A and B are shown apart, each in its own frame.
Chain A
Amino acid sequence: MTAALTAALETIVGRDHVSPVSGQPAVLVTPASPAEVADVIRTTADAGAAIVPVGAGYRAARLRGLGERRRVHVSTERLTQVIHLDETSLLCHVQAGLTGLALEKLLAPRGLSLGDYPPGILGSSVGGLVGVRTPGKSSARHGFFEDAVAGVSAVLADGRTIHTRVAPRRSTGPDLGRALCGSEGTLGFITAAVLRIHRRPEARLLAAYILPSIDAAIAAAFLALSEECAPAGLRIVDAAEAARHFPAAGLVPGEALLVAATAGPTDLAACDRDLIASAALAEGGRDADPAIAELWWRRRTGGEPSPEPGPQLQISAAPSALRPAYHAIRAAVPGVHLHVSRFDRDGAVIFATFPDGEVGSASAAAATAATAAGGWLLGVRPTALDPYLVALRAQLDPRGVMNPGALIDAS
């Protein structure tokens, strides 16, 4: 870092909010306002350095391919205001640095919530939730997390601030906010978002079933979904994983456990629960102890630790590819623990845990097998569109200032 750039940054955000990053040609800057973000970006760009956005999930591993280029890590840690809570329209305008969990804490006393998103993802800051398209940000009831984004504020590479305007839907060209969603800070630095929020459900009902096979369990899930059942959570656990996570269920090899949470107005939650029960029955299933579902829910919401660390591989699959992908993984890595979750109308996600042996090679084998069977490794991108993404970046950021190491290596 040059002393001149560091000094300039200190002038903008104050001496206390600029610190060196050890082992890297970088400083960490913590602006207090979107206006300071804009000044930081302008100053950094003029100095020929790069901007790296940093949220709650700050990981050095992301900073690949930057070589010795000087960089300014811009943290959203101090951008934690709720700018406006519109309880009439159920919209929450919030700055990018607030984490999902912190926002949930503010919403809960008002009977509001971000929605059915798995609590596991909500440790991320709003900027990360919006700016990075990662697995698991979907629910059958409330859709993909991007669907919750009604508006985005961002600072572009030239220091201009844009606000995409809020409307329930519009027909005035492409959805411009969607350019920023998933752009990982390469097209703009997200400073705030307007999120669609929900009233907390009047009822939540939990149930568990044992199905004769994983195929029967998956069929039951999609049967219920095709009857428009919209569960708050639905998980299918295979016998190998259930033996570790839910031993009380007493699954014999080959069987599968299906746990479900339904929510909403009481009558609707009961309707959805009954649809799942009928679907499980139709596929040859039987009731399991509801305590199993309650245990699942407590773990899911962080009330109780899980017996294993988190899954090491996640494969997304359309409904038609789900069973082939599951069996491909199971055949490739016999010892694997698997569950299927995050069901919505586009499909579901298979989560794999490799309890023994070398995780790296097992994971690679499972990924290869699942991909061949029609699954998608999370995080892949259709490379046919890369030239257009490069062109779009060149238009919005001709000097290559904005997170140049992300998405596509700009070099």
Chain B
Amino acid sequence: MAVDPDRVRRELEAIVGPRRVSLRAVDLDTYARDMWPRLLLARRAGAPPAALPTAVVWPETTREVAAIVRAARGLGVPIVPYGGGSGVCGGVVPRFGGITVDTKRMAALRGINADDKVCDVEAGLSGERFERELARRGYTFGNFPSSIYCSTVGGWLATRAAGQLSTKYGKVEDRVAGLTFVTGTGEVIDTDGPRRAFGGPDWTQLVLGSEGTLGIITSARLRLNPAPQLAVYRGFEVDNVAVGIEAIRRVLQRGLRPAVVRLYDELDTFVNGFGHHVDDPAARAYRHSHAPAPLPGEGALPVVPPPPPPPADDGPVGRLLALARRARSHARADAMAALLDRPGLVNRVVGAVAEKIARKGCKLIIGLEGARLRTEVEAALTFAELERAGARDLGEEPGRAWLARRYAVSYKMSGVYRDGAFVDTLEVASSWAQLADLYYSVRAAIGRHAVVMAHFSHAYPEGCSIYFTFAAHADDRAGSEARYDAIWRDGMEAATRVGGTISHHHGVGMLRAPYMAGEHREAMAILTALKLSLDPDDLMNPGKLGLAGARWRS
């Protein structure tokens, strides 16, 4: 569909003025992608983006967003919302061009209602600034994704994000009192109101997670908790994954709500190096230059008590990569030295070695925080329940070590890509009854193509999520992409086969779009009906979330 870029520019400038519209090549290139690893593979090979936006625009008010949507309607071009660009599924890729709407200039924390413990916040506010401001005023929203330094509140809401403390505070969709969003027809809608008073479906829950396909979220009323008065973190060890799963299940089903629950499988335990610190000055310098660890004394993200200095360690991804590197360069050096190109063998050998080295089994990090009295009681009950289930208390050190470097992991990836390999993460979830099946099935499916490790986090009374990290290698871009696609295809199909969900909190975007039909089956009829109701012209982020985008394919 031919569209005149000058006309797009004129119409956008009429709405926001000349300074907040760009058609410069560097901006179009920047806004063509997010952090989806498959796009990084292409970028590493020097390939240009497969699709570019026609223009990028930075609105400052909901009214401007509505005007932009109406303009796009008149022009007949798609609209793609863009927050921090930290997504890992290609959700902001402008597949069919059009106008990319960056929300980051709508970044006000408008107010906090102390009685109702609800704040009114604009979609473009960065997660870091949001939590720092709340902490300064004695509150927390409680969402701490490892992307917190580069993701926005609106991005969280559009994808149903989860943070590291979700077991207590919930995923973001559990904490929304109301949304303001602009529909595909350019209308502004508020979904606020007490849930128990209103008849009819809960529109808030129908917009959350829509990834920009139904409209653009411009602000939200979010529930707050008082800043925690007390935080207790501990490490435990269990003989194996099954014992750990059972221990967590018992804790959650007794009505206890720890903030953090993380059970690492044997390889993840080994790679995470609990108690095995590797002092690598280069890695340390790299981490400090790339991972903005919270600095004490400047309203740091609320970590109570303040973390001790980070241990000298390259972090899990770095260690996984080191494993891969050694495997590739010293093929006979030691038992680790299976080839990354033969991941099945690596997984078996590494698994066996990891089990030998980490004879004590799997590590479990558990943390509780909140109001003083209740946290003390819940912590005592939680630790007792874990011990009854066969977990051994390792004291506070492992918990503190995890806290100290909890944001570092995402900043390790670029090094991996420079070395010609690739790393990605795949998060799935299921009920407890299916969880072991889910773990073994997905691990085996990915393990045919990549070295894979996993941890269990984000626990609920009825189930839990599993977070797989995998690393693989191929000789060129085509080979890498083929292997990458095979990993995801087999992983997603395995998850669906055993009755799990294909995504716990990263979202769908382009990456999981082909698997949405398997995920929802006949219920996709409801998603399609929602799409046609809120965005009848298929303007909003077309071709995502498993919605066809048929209008734009010709």
A349 CA to B545 CA, complexed, in Å: 38
A381–B198 contact, CB under 8 A?
A: yes
Residues of A within 8 A of B206 (CB): 174-175, 178-179
B188: nearest chain-A partner, CB-CB: A384
B195 at the interface (CB under 8 A from A): yes
Against A, the Cβ 8 Å flags (1 = close, 0 = not) of B247-289 are: 0010001111000000000000000000000000000000000
> Provided the pairs A318-B116, A319-B115 are in contact, do residues A91 and B373 lie with their beta carbons within 8 angstroms?
no
Q: Knowing A167-B431, A388-B203 touch, does A176 contact B527 (C-beta < 8 A)?
A: yes
Tell me the count of chain A residues lying within 8 A, CB to CB, of chain B.
86
Q: Which of B206-260 contact A (CB under 8 A)?
A: 206-211, 214, 223, 226, 249, 253-256
A166 on the interface (CB 8 Å rule)? yes
Give the residues from 193 to 219 in chain A that come closer than 8 angstroms, CB to CB, to chain B. Answer: 196, 198-199, 201
Minimal beta-carbon separation of B526 from chain A (angstroms): 5
Known A-B contacts A169-B505, A345-B223, A382-B191; A174 and B207 likewise in contact (beta carbons under 8 Å) = yes
| Alpha-carbon separation in the docked complex, A68 to B373 (Å) | 62
CA A137 to CA B199, docked complex, whole Å: 13
Return chain B residues, CB-CB under 8 Å to A246.
Answer: none
| Interface size in chain B (residues, C-beta < 8 A) | 93
A168-B462, A381-B199, A382-B193 given; A91·B431 CB < 8 A: yes
The residue that B512 contacts in the complex, of A167, A172, A380, A382, with Cβ under 8 A, is A172
Q: Beta-carbon contacts of A167-190 to B below 8 Å, as 1s and 0s?
A: 111111111111111111001000
Q: Name the residue of chain B whose CB is nearest to the CB of A323.
A: B115
Q: Does A342 contact B (CB under 8 A)?
A: yes
Distance from B94 Cβ to chain A, minimum over Cβ atoms (Å) = 20
**Pair B431/A168 contact, Cβ less than 8 Å:** yes
Closest residue on chain A to residue B226 by CB atoms = A226
Whether the Cβ atoms of A316 and B197 lie closer than 8 Å is yes
Determine whether A8 belongs to the interface, using a CB cutoff of 8 Å to chain B. Answer: no
Question: Does B519 reach chain A (CB closer than 8 Å)?
Answer: yes
- A89 part of interface (Cβ distance < 8 Å): yes
Inter-subunit contact A170/B503 (CB<8 Å): yes
* Residue contact B198 to A133, C-beta cutoff 8 Å: yes
The answer to whether A165 touches B117, judged by C-beta atoms less than 8 angstroms apart, is: no
Q: List, in ascending order, chain A residues with CB within 8 A of B256's CB.
A: 265, 268
Contact with B along A283-301 (1 / 0, CB 8 A): 0000000000000000000
Selected contact of B523 from candidates A176, A199, A381, A389, CB within 8 Å: A176
Residues of B within 8 A of A346 (CB): 116, 177, 194-196
Which of A162, A222, A382, A388 has a CB less than 8 Å from the CB of B198?
A382
A242 CB to closest chain B CB (Å) equals 25
Q: How far is the CA of A343 from the CA of B525 in the complex (A)?
A: 36
Q: Is A238 an interface residue (CB 8 A)?
A: no
Known A144-B196, A183-B200, A347-B116; 8 more pairs at CB < 8 Å: A89-B462, A169-B504, A170-B503, A173-B516, A174-B205, A175-B205, A182-B201, A264-B254
A-B contact list, 14 entries, CB within 8 Å: A173-B211, A175-B206, A176-B520, A179-B201, A267-B381, A268-B255, A271-B373, A316-B194, A316-B196, A318-B115, A320-B116, A346-B194, A376-B193, A392-B201
